[in-house]
Amino acid sequence: MRLREFIETTKLKGEVFAAHVGITHRTLMNALAGKEVKLTTAMKIEKATCGAVTCHDMFLDQVDNQPDDECKKQQQQNSDPGHAPVGSNQSGNVS
């Protein structure tokens, strides 16, 4: 579950949730805005939500917010035979 969904579902005020988690309201707002979240913050949120929002969910939010250009660049690099995984046949070498 995403953090925003959790807060909307539980109808908690941001200030109350942040205090319960042990983070500042600003840190919570940054997380909700998709800004970078420290692992320790994500762990606190996971614990405070009893696992409803996981660390994995927090970091997926960051990946989902990557600009399309970065994703396309990564896909192009992955399809380049020079960047093929070791042992694959994409490099033209026989394994």
pLDDT of 35 > 70? The answer is yes
* H/E element, 62: helix 55-64
- Cite the beta strand spans of 1-95 per DSSP E: none
- Report the alpha-carbon distance of residue 41 to residue 35 in Å, rounded: 12
pLDDT of 65 > 60? The answer is no
- State the CATH class of domain 3-81: mainly alpha
pLDDT of 78 > 90? The answer is no
Which amino acid does the sequence have at 65? N
**pLDDT band at residue 59 using 50, 70 and 90 as cut-offs:** confident
Cβ within 8 Å of residue 91, ≥6 positions away: 81, 82, 84
pLDDT of 48 > 90? The answer is yes
Give the tokens for residue 36: 């970078």
